[in-house]
Structure 1
Amino acid sequence: MKHTLILAPLVLALIAATPPKSPEAVAEGALRAAPVFDGHNDVPEQLRDRRKDVLEGFDFRDTRGTADPSNGRAAMMTDLARLKAGKVGAQFWSVYVSADLPEPQAVQATLEQIDVTRRLIARYPAEMQLCMDSACVIAARKAGKIASLIGMEGGHSIGGSLAVLRQMYALGARYMTLTHFKNNAWADSGTDAPAHDGLTPFGVKVVREMQRLGMLVDLAHVSEATMADALATGGPPVIVSHSNARAINHHARNISDATLKLIGANGGIVMVNFYPPYVVEASRQWAAARDAEQARGKALNRGDPVAEKAALDAWDKANPMPLGSIGDVADQIDHIARLIGPDHVGLGGDLDGVEATIAGLEDVSKYPALFVELARRGWSQADLEKLSSRNMLRVLKAAESYAAAHRDDLEQESETTF
């Protein structure tokens, strides 16, 4: 006891003298313990647009040389080398197809996107592993591989059929965004004129069948009314795979504080996006001004598409998009975490799905810089680990548990469409 009494002040003095960890050390510790689990990356879209889904001659180990200036394409933002540098341990690959496609074509295109995604993963077995559940994600990360999951973007991809939904799940789709930029027959988009005031009765069936299967319900892109209707069905936590807070940027793609609170109460997760017009209000205003200038140029140059394009190109050169900074993304994360807690925020960069990103977050290698910025703001290592992947894993496990408990529920029935 005498030794204890003598040593205790010495121990306390040593603890007091230990300097706090630097922001860089805190960020590094968080990413080592819990590598990034990103909610949305559009490499499959790039493979479709640039290569018609042909992988011959494509090297995913390094895509920095994929710029195609003649077609106005910058180099891709994603490859295996930069994923490793960015401390990415798990990724939802988006199998997006345009909402302008007729639904039967959208179903086919989605199947093709799932196919190219699975083929890409299979080509790199030492670096990537196709995962269907949280146990695989954990095992893949332990093996040093990028756990690769599939997310569908837009309910038009099921062609109004719950049977198609079930088959997409069987092929590996583990989330579905209920809409994209346009409404579909059963749900309203956040960027289209309201048609259903949220979900139709069939839309509710879609959500319930997704929950029964264990497919995550993704509320990115949907209207606030659709969010409210989906959350009102109960069930497991939802995700918002790549959206931000409307209180900071009033874009229709973003989420009001009232709805953020509903998502927090649901146990869900909002995964913050890196596209400037969704992050920075000045970028949103720039996008609106560009739309107006494009309409003006079209009106002034009717019948002369060359002149119309030249006018818009000149405007773009004179008025570059404000890109914002890493601090602007950190502001979005801080706002959501303060409002509903650090258990309900994640990352969904939308890389390779946008033409520009926040300055400093240009590609998948840059995630650590964001974590350093948050550590500078006082984020603890424990909360940074939640942001990077623990929150997403929790939500995925909850969806799996719900599906296991409801495995014997009756399947939802599709309405006759022909």
Structure 2
Amino acid sequence: MSAISIRGPYSGGRNQRTLIIIGASALIVATIIVTVSVLVTRSDSNVELTLEEKVHQILEDSPVIDGHNDLPWNIRRLAYNDLRRVNFSEDLTQNAIWGKDDSTHTDIPRLRKGHVGAQFWVAYTSCTSQFKDSVEQTLEQIDVIKRLVDKYPEDLQFATSADDIENAIANKKIASLVAVEGGHSMQFSFGILRNLYAMGARYMTLTHSCNTPWADASPVDAKNPILLPESDGLSEYGLRIVKEMNRLGMMVDLSHVSQRTMEKALNHSVAPVIFSHSSARAICDHHRNVPDSVLEQVRKTNSLVMVNFYNGFIRCDGQRANISDVVEHIEHIRGVTGPDHIGIGGDFDGVDSVPEGLEDVSKYPDLIKALLETGNWTDEDLKKLSGQNLIRVFRAVEEVRDSLKGQEPEQDAIKAEELEKYKVNLTCITAKFERLQPQQLLKTRREAPAELQLREL
């Protein structure tokens, strides 16, 4: 006779129900443990993540820090710097004016979708303003950047340091920095350079598409040059501008400059430099791109190349580029410099033709996904590309600034002869320039300390 029959008809039923309840409870607990285990696995290890989840995780950990966006120029061009004319918290693809313009790629919703954590907004003025009102226009563009940030405080946060960038990202804001594109924005005045820095400018591109009296621009390297070299890359005065930027803590940007200018700046700067929006010349032989010999210097000096998305710099055969072409540039640069010296500088809102798949600032995750699909990139390398490399270089520039605190600011005026040598029209300029007759110059050199004699020579 079974034990159950001895206990009676109801006793066995209660025990069975108890066992069922205990078993069910154990099953629920086990399910919870397995579920938590799976979730932990998915969050702590990439093994179980989908490609899209992996991209999201990478950009959550290291949001995109883009080196170059010309939105302020489009605000000037399309809205006359009147921020009441356009709402950047809306999808501007639906805007009657902005949505039909091939050169507009940016608004806050798309920046958020693109996981942008920091953006260098460019205070750009055309080379046609050189020796005219370039300084005035640059000040206006810095003003519109600051007003833009002030108008959208829920999304944008003004930044002037590497710490500021990290603080903004921690606050779920888009760090917004000022960049100056073209040395003509400071003309040839150390005082103006220092004031641009005081207003928040944290890099200056040494030239745009025109030579300055102290630096040569990239068109001197074109196959059919439209400019002639005038300063052997950088004149002595140009080298002093680089020195003063080092002292200030302003990053030296070598996009748009000639190869000789790149080489001399890399050799002279005591801080790492950046190329805020340039690609690989070995892939597309355009004078705006960076040759391999310079990429080697980038690696040796701990500097940074931020890849540009403009179609004409990505493909040189006249065909429209696609996201795979951009991947090719990125992989080539990494192959020369290693993963610590490459970043992203899309040049959105500054160009009218972009690669298929990278149509606007929302598409950065697609680029990260395309790189992941190659199988050549670790998560850590992609985090360096997306923003960590820029933070590292920015901190290094700040460290050099701090180490030079005892150094006096540059105070010498550019020589009138130097301006006249480059046929600068001084009729619109009322500033006084130092003039030295040959006999005076010789006497000055003889009496000066050896360091000054070398500098003057």
Using the size of structure 1 for normalisation, the TM-score is 0.84
Which residue pairs with 1:336 in the alignment?
333
1:347 to 344, 347, 353: 344
Q: Does 1:374 align with 2:366?
A: no
Q: What per-residue deviation string (whole Å, max 9, x for no partner) do you get for residues 126-146 of structure 1? A: 110110101111010000000
2:310 to 275, 281, 286: 275
Which residue pairs with 1:288 in the alignment?
none
Q: Does 1:227 align with 2:256?
A: no
Which residue pairs with 1:197 in the alignment?
232
Which residue pairs with 1:56 in the alignment?
84
Which residue pairs with 1:398 in the alignment?
396
Deviation (angstroms), 1:27: 1.9
CA contact (8 A) 1:218 1:239 kept: yes
Deviation (angstroms), 1:356: 1.1
Distance 1:66 1:211, change over 3 A: farther
Matched positions, count: 365
2:72 to 44, 51, 57: 44
- 2 CA distance for matches of 1:414 and 1:30? 48
- 2 CA distance for matches of 1:256 and 1:112? 35
Deviation (angstroms), 1:67: 4.8
Distance 1:399 1:64, change over 3 A: same
Which residue pairs with 2:271 in the alignment?
236
Provide the aligned C-alpha RMSD in A: 1.9
Distance 1:69 1:210, change over 3 A: closer
Distance 1:25 1:198, change over 3 A: same
Which residue pairs with 1:164 in the alignment?
192
Q: Does 1:125 align with 2:153?
A: yes
Matches within 5 A, 1:69-84: 73-74=101-102, 76-84=104-112
Distance 1:104 1:168, change over 3 A: farther
- 1 CA distance for matches of 2:346 and 2:403? 32
Deviation (angstroms), 1:26: 2.9
Q: Does 1:247 align with 2:282?
A: yes
Deviation (angstroms), 1:329: 0.4
- 2 CA distance for matches of 1:19 and 1:83? 29
Deviation (angstroms), 1:277: 0.8
Give the percent of matched residue pairs that are identical in Structure 1 and Structure 2: 42
- 1 CA distance for matches of 2:70 and 2:202? 15
Matched position secondary structure for 1:92: strand
- Which structure is richer in relative contact order (CA contacts within 8 A, separation 6 or more)? 1
CA contact (8 A) 1:23 1:373 kept: no
Q: Which amino acid aligns with 2:343?
A: G
Q: Which amino acid aligns with 1:65?
A: Q
Distance 1:329 1:56, change over 3 A: same
Deviation (angstroms), 1:148: 0.3
CA contact (8 A) 1:97 1:106 kept: yes
CA contact (8 A) 1:26 1:380 kept: no
Matches within 5 A, 1:3-14: none
Which residue pairs with 1:153 in the alignment?
181
Q: What per-residue deviation string (whole Å, max 9, x for no partner) do you get for residues 160-186 of structure 1? A: 100000000000000000000011110
Distance 1:19 1:54, change over 3 A: closer
- 2 CA distance for matches of 1:184 and 1:215? 19
CA contact (8 A) 1:330 1:373 kept: yes
- 1 CA distance for matches of 2:336 and 2:283? 13
CA contact (8 A) 1:325 1:360 kept: yes
Q: Which amino acid aligns with 1:250?
A: D
Which residue pairs with 2:211 in the alignment?
183
CA contact (8 A) 1:210 1:216 kept: yes
- 2 CA distance for matches of 1:232 and 1:152? 22
- 1 CA distance for matches of 2:68 and 2:337? 22
CA contact (8 A) 1:68 1:75 kept: no
- 1 CA distance for matches of 2:109 and 2:118? 14
Matches within 5 A, 1:259-298: 259-283=294-318
Q: Which amino acid aligns with 1:90?
A: A
Distance 1:155 1:69, change over 3 A: closer
Which residue pairs with 2:358 in the alignment?
361
- 2 CA distance for matches of 1:105 and 1:153? 15
Deviation (angstroms), 1:86: 0.1
Task: Name stretches of at least 5 consecutive residues in structure 1 with no aligned partner.
Answer: 1-13, 284-321
Distance 1:205 1:75, change over 3 A: closer
Q: Does 1:107 align with 2:142?
A: no
Which residue pairs with 2:385 in the alignment?
387
CA contact (8 A) 1:29 1:381 kept: no
Q: Which amino acid aligns with 1:49?
A: R
Q: What per-residue deviation string (whole Å, max 9, x for no partner) do you get for residues 343-362 of structure 1? A: 00000000000011011101
- 2 CA distance for matches of 1:327 and 1:414? 49
